[in-house]
Every structure is written in structure tokens, then in C-alpha cells.
Amino acid sequence: MSFAEYITALIEALETFEPSSFSRLKALVGEKKARLQLDDEVINVGFVEGQFAILPVDEHTDGEGVMDSASVVRILDGHLEVTDSILSGHIMAKGTPSSLEEILIAIELILEASIHTPQFRALSEQFRSEKFIKGTRSNEYDITALFETGEKELDLLARLDLLP
């Protein structure tokens, strides 16, 4: 499946199995458009007359997200945290602060819906399987050790009473 087909299947599953989440997504996004890039594949997406659509890539967009398959597989396998993938530049998001906030809320909304939607998990498994066949591997070892919380960070979090 192409990236466009994955995104379309994801949103269709949301509309079919989690219609309330789909409505919230539509209300959140409104007329805004986003450019998404996975490896070399670039798509523009948005809602046109209430329907999700893949749009021409030369259209203006309000925000942009760029990621690579290897990072997505590592995230799905629990080898890479989303925060770390952003800090290390494996996932990039561009746009105004409000557009970025909307993109992140949209992702959260889809992730939350995935708890109740087996079709999402099947799509995730298919993605991992296809990328594995193409040679994309998860990390050899758990790389979270690279991002161990430092003493200074812990001190700061303790002072702000933000430790879990």
C-alpha cells in the first residue's frame, strides 16, 4: 500500500468504526490542509465538503509533517519515543503554533480511537509487515538508554513538582 492508501484507509476506518472521533477530527481540522511526507512520498490532505480527500501536492497547506518509515516502525515497536523522534529530527512538524497544536491533537485523537478499533491495529501490523519485507528494521537494541533522564533534568522536575 502507498502512504496515501494507508492514510485514506485510516481515516475511513475512523469514520466507519469511531464516527464520533471522526466528527471531532473534522471539526478540529475544518478547512485547513496539511502536507504529509513519508520517506519520498508526499501527499496533501484535508476535508472537502465534509469528506476526507487526498489533494494535489501543489496546493497551499497550513502545516507539514515529515517522517521516515524506519522511525515509524521503531515507534510502533516501542524502540523510539515520539518525543525523542522529534528531538532527534526523525519526525518534523512545521506550521504556525495553532496548526501544530491541531496536528498533534489530531494524532492523539486517532491514537485514542485505535484502542477500540481493531482495524487500526491491523493497518499498523500491515505497515510493519510491508516495511519489514522491504528491509526496514527496528533497532537492534533498545535505544532509550541514549535518552536517560539526566540529574539536572530530574532536579528541575523535582523542584517544579513534576515528577510522576
Partner 1 sequence: MSLHDTLQSPIIFDPTRSSYKDWFHLNLIDFETKALGIFNTSLHGDPLDQRSMAAGSAFISQGLGWIGNVEVVSQLEANMRPNFIGLQHMGFLISSTTPSIHVGVRQMDNRLNADFIAKAVSSYLSIDLPMPFGKGWISWRLIPKLQPFGILELDGKKIRLDNRFTAYHDHNWGRWFWGDDIGWEWGYFQCKSLSAVFARTTNRAHSIIGATWFSIHREGPDLIVSPGEIDCKINLAPKTLRRVPGAMAALRQDRANPLTPQSVTVCGKGSSFDLRFSFTASDALQFIAADPAGGGCSFIHETSGNVIVDGIIGNQDISEEGCAILEYVN
Q: Which of 77, 92, 94, 98 binds partner 1 (CB under 8 A)?
A: 77
- Taking CA atoms, 43 is separated from 6, 24, 33, 60, 151, in Å, by 11, 22, 10, 12, 42
Binding part of the chain for partner 1, among 8-16, 37-45, 46-54, 111-119 by CB under 8 A, reads 111-119
> Which of 12, 121, 126, 156 is the binder for partner 1 (CB under 8 A)?
121
The minimum distance between CB 9 and partner 1, in angstroms, equals 15
Give residue for cell 523542584: 159
Closest CA to 149 of 81, 54, 97: 81
Q: For strand 41-48 and strand 51-55, is the pairing parallel, antiparallel, or unpaired?
A: antiparallel
* Binding positions for partner 1, rule: CB under 8 A: 74-83, 107-108, 111-112, 114-118, 120-122, 124-125, 128-129, 132, 137-138, 141-142, 144-145, 147-149, 154, 163-164
